[in-house]
Structure 1
Amino acid sequence: MAAQCLRSRTNLIVLATASALVLAGCGGSDPSPEQRFAAALASGDVRTAADLTTDPAAASSAITAMFDGLAAQGHSFTVSQGGDSFTLDADWDLGDGKEWRYSTEGKVVTVSGEQRLSWDPALLVPGLDADSTVQFTPTTGKPPQVRASDGRPIMTQQVVTLVNLQPSADPAVVAPLLAPIVPTITAESLRGDLAKADGKPVTAVTLRESDIAPIRARLAAIPGVELVDQARLLTVDKALASPVFADLANLWQEGQDASAGWAVQMVQSNGSTHRLAGQDGTPAPNIDTTLDLNLQTAAENALAGIAQPAAIVALRPSTGAVLAVAQNAPADAQGPIALTGLYPPGSTFKTVTTSAALQAGKVTPDTVLPCPGTENVEGRQIPNDDNFDLGSVPLHTAFAHSCNTTMARLAVSLPADALPRAAEQFGLGVDYVTPGLTTVTGTVPPAETPAARVESAIGQGEVTASPFGMALVAASIAHGSTPAPTMVVGRPGTADRTVAPAPADVDDELRAMMRETVTDGTARILADLPNLAGKTGTAEYGDGKDSHGWFVGIDGDLAFAVFVAGADSSGPALDAAGRFLR
């Protein structure tokens, strides 16, 4: 009998096509049972293949389990030696270049006058028996860690336990065990979850090993409670939280996937396994981040007592390293606002407005300008906070005391694109692709009318910024150019455009004015911090009755932004900055 009468590389070839190949390839004679068996396997026709054996029920079960366990992208079966004793060659395409080839031996017997294949599971896979099956699985080596800038682990793979409740579980018995760990869990909340599940089990909570260990035995003994262990990437310190951890987890998973090996395992009925084929993957490298654990903890603690959504982002101006990204629980409920939340920046944007005015040659820091308590500029009545009136003062004094009227009047004479160009020089409005970090800096559209420039000048109107964006503004002023934001060591972010920095003398003048803001201006509450420079901000939103609070600061090689939603003044942001720095 000629070798290779059948060879079909496909996952589910139509049976008629596979059979036609057999009939055409063997000299016109009727195909033998082993050829028909190979054709049925090639087409994925379990029933036809099983019916060609001496035990169709057992064969059907084994063949189905083999196909399900391997989940191959393609497969072929070849009869390379026919007759009463034959050889079956198998070739499995397991995807991405993973291939498994082997041969098995079989026998053809006569049963009630018809030829059949003597059923033996080893006809499918060498060594297979009635109590085993085969399974394809990706493999990974030792899981990497996500580490802080000093090498301490921030996130590691850990075992967690899902507490699953069947409809029969009694919430009144389960809730008292879980409530000390998760106070929001009550018997009523569990009943509600079960009711919404329409008879399906629900996961009441996922617990770390340290939390479930004291109550594991008691939970497991409750009828209707199922405990399922899973491996997950978690923070080493469960109190540590940051919106950057989600992106770092994705980066960690990408590394795991890229370094994965594979195995085909023989799985026994008792759960034991041994490998039949495969290849070990290369260990995934640790992810070394730029995060400073001390600063991250300080930032989280500084925000913990604030009732409104609040965030702090801190960068190292000299390198762009992201040192801390923190937000409190109310902010977490709204998403990663520290990195992508867009809000009117208010008076912190006066850093940009002042830079644009200085570059236009309209003023110097010592130019004396009016700072009335309120002024109608291009039809927009602009008040200072509490209508304070400084009279005529140098620009640096107007900046330090955050004179809205001065800034509005300055902006009117600027070109429509002056503020967007000045903002881009500080990274605001620029988009970055940064490994391990998803960010939006802000939007500063051209102000085509004088009235629009008045609004933009004081960080209102269509101007928006994220806390990350304003931290980048502060870092750019400190550094003299915008540093590439970096979360993973050696992998800086890439900007969507190249922007020339502001002139060095403008940055110098801005830093001096920001220092005066702390020593003798709106941030005097922080005057005990000897090297701090900054800018406060209050930004109206909605119908104008409520305001967000901001503070951006520079302290040596540290630049940061503090944002408190709905704070009604910059006071809460200043207080948080003080707690963060002290």
Structure 2
Amino acid sequence: MVWRGNSAAAAVVVAAVTLTMVAGCGSRDDTDVAGIVGSFAGAIENQDVEAASGLTTAPAPAAESLGATFAGMGAETVETTVNKPVEYSDGTASFTMKTTWEWPGQGSFETSTSGTARELSSGWKVQWEPGLIYQNMPAGSRLQKVRTDATPAPTVESRTGKTFMKMVPVNEITFDPKAAGRKSDAAIASLADAVEPIAPLVTASVIRKKVDEAGGRSVVAVTLRESDMRTLTSDPEKITGVTVNRTGKLVMDDRRLSSPLESGLTNYWTAVRDATAGWQVQLVTPGTRPKRLAGKQGPPAKDVATTVDQNEQLVLGDTVVEVAQPAAVMTFDASTGGILAMARNDAADRSDVEAGAAYATGSTLDPVFEAVDRAANDDSGSANDMLYRFGLGVKFTAPGVSLPRTTTPTKPKVSSAGFTPNDYKSTMLNMGALGVALSRASDGATDAVAPYLVKGATTKVTDGKLEHFEPEVAREILRSMATNANTGDASDLTGAPGLRALVGTNGPQGPGWFVGLQGGKVIVIYCEGEKSGTAALQVAQKYFKVSNSR
């Protein structure tokens, strides 16, 4: 807090007594008016509601207004400069104060206010009025800083430039068990009934589980679009403990689509939007629209271009429901490594199957290990390096693809007799990269590429290097895959001309895998549970059937 000298006007006020300037806050005498005003300004700097309000003539309303403004402004620092108070013979004094609210890296907001102080029996006090916060501020008002975003909001585009995801107005239907009190169970049942016409899966037990997992805190029971709200036969907000928060959300443009890629793309889109976000300081008065006082706005963010194929996403959505056990499917552009689509069924959703999570491969990669072992002459170090160059064993961090808690593929335990890895684990991204490398090898390329989802964003590769792979190793693996498709485990599949495939399982309890090259795509299927190898083949057959029908 900084002290300044008297203004010229204050110096000529009749019956005014000029107070002595105090050099620093630490030397103030809090029994005189200068000390009290200085302490008040210092408490504002410290955003200390209790200290500031306690120095006023009305601590309760002062605390309410100051607390609301401090919370609403969320300033990292506050600086105050006070002109020396002018004391009058009637036991009052006047002062002016400049307050600067600062948000480093964003901006600042400055207010100039004037106030009075009164000498009471208990000593000098600052006369409380909301205008001490902002000149002429009405009672019950507050200042707040809010985020602003340029319009229109960016969209997420498919590989052809069509809208894949967009922001739309939505309604977050929130339930607070504390507000419902003893009627909590009845309120949950009523809420489930109210949203049942549009969200039949949001049952009372589902809402109760959310509440229990949140430890009794309020939860978002369901988020509905505006058009969905209009189809409801009753108003959820009339239920005890229920509130409806109207906001915006990034959603699939085609309501038939659902994908695990949605969360990662939303995070990426949010980061893009954050980079151009602005801010605004508002005067908020109950019953009126917030008044803009200051602010700064960045330009609209660019749309997010991706490699997603919307038709392929529809195909995968129809594919994963072929089996009841957990199943997930990803497809990649066989020449570029672009992720075309990903889908998982409800069981896989409950198991939280992720593209970047590592799972046991079992016998699936045996043809790869055998070819690599022969080329490496039983040198496990060399063999591992070869696997890296095909995209196995490395970690991919692809912008727009969610990262699970554990993302690094497990390094193999190798027996002394040749390169025969045990307990090897791989991610769906690794399997996709392998398939793309092999497909590129069949076209004469000798380099692997990292899978990616957002165009122009680079996938980070760690724990190994892709580099150039050995063409002869690729050719040997491709021959094994062709044999597998023609006379082996994948030979019963139909509607997939030119298919080359890896099929395997990690024992009776799985998981089971299918990695196929066909029609310019790499298809990676992962299944869990009993007979998961057979399940993976069932899903593969459904994929080819659905693909051929579109």
TM-score for both structures, normalised by structure 1:
0.77
Within a 5 Å distance, the mapping from 1:147-546 to structure 2 comes to 147-158=157-168, 159-164=170-175, 166-167=180-181, 168=183, 170=186, 171=188, 173-186=190-203, 203-215=220-232, 217-223=234-240, 225-357=242-374, 359-360=375-376, 414-417=378-381, 419-438=383-402, 440=407, 442-445=409-412, 447-450=414-417, 453-454=419-420, 456=421, 461-480=422-441, 481-496=447-462, 497-526=464-493, 528-540=495-507, 545-546=508-509
Question: Partner of 1:473: helix, strand, or coil?
Answer: helix
Distance 1:446 1:338 in 2: 23
Q: Deviations over 1:144-184 (max 9, x none)?
A: 22221122222222313315262436355444333444445
Instruction: Tell me which amino acid in the other structure corresponds to 2:409.
Output: G
Whether 1:87 and 2:96 are equivalent positions in the alignment is yes
Aligned amino acid, residue 4 of structure 2: Q
Aligned mates of 1:63, 1:507 — CA distance in 2: 70
SS of the equivalent of 1:514 reads helix
Q: Separation in 1 of the partners of 2:307 and 2:214?
A: 43
Deviations 1:478-502 (A, max 9, x none): 1132212211101121222334433
How far, CA to CA, are the matches of 1:285 and 1:85 in structure 2? 52
- Count of aligned residue pairs for this structure pair: 505
Distance 1:189 1:319 in 2: 42
Residue 340 of structure 1: how far off its partner (Å): 1.1
Q: How does 1:563-582 map to 2 (within 5 A)?
A: 563-568=526-531, 570-581=533-544, 582=548
Identity score, percent: 28
Farther off after superposition, 507-516 or 197-206: 197-206
Structure 1: which 5+ residue stretches go unaligned? 7-18, 361-412
Structure 1 residue 534: Cα displacement: 1.8
TM-superposed deviation, 1:342? 0.9
**TM-score of the two chains, using structure 2 as the length reference:** 0.81
- Deviations for 1:221-241, whole angstroms, at most 9, x for unmatched residues? 445543333433222334422
Whole-angstrom CA distance in 2 between matches of 1:189 and 1:326: 23
> Once the 2 structures are TM-superposed, how far is the Cα of residue 332 of structure 1 from its aligned partner?
0.9
**CA–CA distance in structure 2, aligned partners of residues 47 and 566 of structure 1:** 60
Cross-structure match for 2:11? none
> Which SS does the other structure have where 1:331 is aligned?
helix
Q: Take 1:79 and 1:530, find their aligned partners in 2: how far apart are those partners?
A: 83
The alpha carbon displacement at 1:530 in A equals 2.4
Q: Which amino acid aligns with 1:506?
A: V
Q: Which amino acid aligns with 2:160?
A: D
Contact 2:197 2:231 in 1 (8 A): no
Amino acid in structure 2 at the alignment position of 1:4: R
Which residue type is aligned with residue 492 of structure 2?
I
Of 520, 524, 531, which aligns to 1:561? Answer: 524
Residues in 2 aligned to 1:547 and 1:65: alpha-carbon distance in whole angstroms? 57
User: Given that residues 360 and 423 in structure 2 are in contact (C-alpha distance below 8 angstroms), is that contact kept between their aligned partners in structure 1?
Assistant: no
On the 8 A contact 1:417/1:446 being kept in 2, the answer is no
In the alignment, does 2:75 pair up with 1:64?
Answer: no
2:259 aligned counterpart, secondary structure? coil
Q: Structure 1: how far apart are the matches of 2:388 and 2:37?
A: 73
Map Cα deviations across residues 354-394 of structure 1 (whole Å, 9 max, x no partner).
2432x25xxxxxxxxxxxxxxxxxxxxxxxxxxxxxxxxxx
CA distance in 2, matches of 1:46, 1:510: 71
Aligned 8 A contact 1:416 1:453 in 2:
yes
Query: Tell me, what secondary structure is at the counterpart of 1:340?
Result: coil
How far has the Cα of 1:262 moved from its partner? 1.0
| Corresponding position of 1:105 | 114
CA shift in 2, pair 1:47/1:316, >3 Å: closer
SS at match of 2:251: strand
SS in 2 for 1:160: strand
| Distance apart, 1:36 and its partner CA | 4.2
When residues 217 and 141 of structure 1 are mapped into structure 2, their CA distance, relative to the original with a 3 A threshold, is farther
For residues 92-146 of structure 1, the C-alpha deviation after alignment (integer angstroms, 9 at most, x for no partner) is 1234342112322334566679765554422321231214211111222233222
Measured in 2, the distance between the counterparts of 1:264 and 1:151 equals 37
Contact 1:23 1:31 in 2 (8 A): no
- Which residue in the other structure is 1:402 paired with? none
Distance 1:95 1:415 in 2: 56
Q: Secondary structure at the match of 1:134?
A: strand
Compared with structure 1, are the counterparts of its residues 128 and 324 closer, same or farther at alpha carbon in structure 2 (3 Å cutoff)?
same
CA 1:309–1:187: 2 relative to 1, 3 Å: closer
- Does the C-alpha gap of structure 1 residues 182 and 532 become closer, same or farther in structure 2, counting only changes over 3 Å? same
Structure 1 residues 192 and 479: alpha-carbon distance in aligned structure 2, compared to 1, 3 A threshold: closer
Amino acid at match of 2:75: A
Kept after mapping to 2: 8 A contact 1:345/1:465: no
**What is the CA–CA distance in structure 1 between the aligned matches of 2:261 and 2:489, rounded to whole Å?**
31
Task: Give the 3 Å change call, closer, same or farther, for CA 276–309 of structure 1 in structure 2.
Answer: same
Say if 1:172 and 1:492 are closer, same or farther in 2 by CA, change over 3 A.
closer
- RMSD between aligned residues: 3.4
Correspondence 1:141 to 2:189 = no
Corresponding residue for residue 19 of structure 2: none
CA change 1:565–1:286 in 2 (3 A) is: same
Offset, 1:280: 1.1
- Residue by residue over 1:3-30, the C-alpha shift from the partner in whole angstroms, topping out at 9 and shown as x without a partner, is 5379xxxxxxxxxxxx99236489x997
Deviates more, 1:553-562 or 1:32-41: 32-41
Residue identity matched to 1:462: D
Go from structure 1 to structure 2 and tell me whether the alpha carbon gap of 1:114 and 1:416 turns closer, same or farther (over 3 Å shift).
closer
Where does residue 390 of structure 1 map in the other structure? none
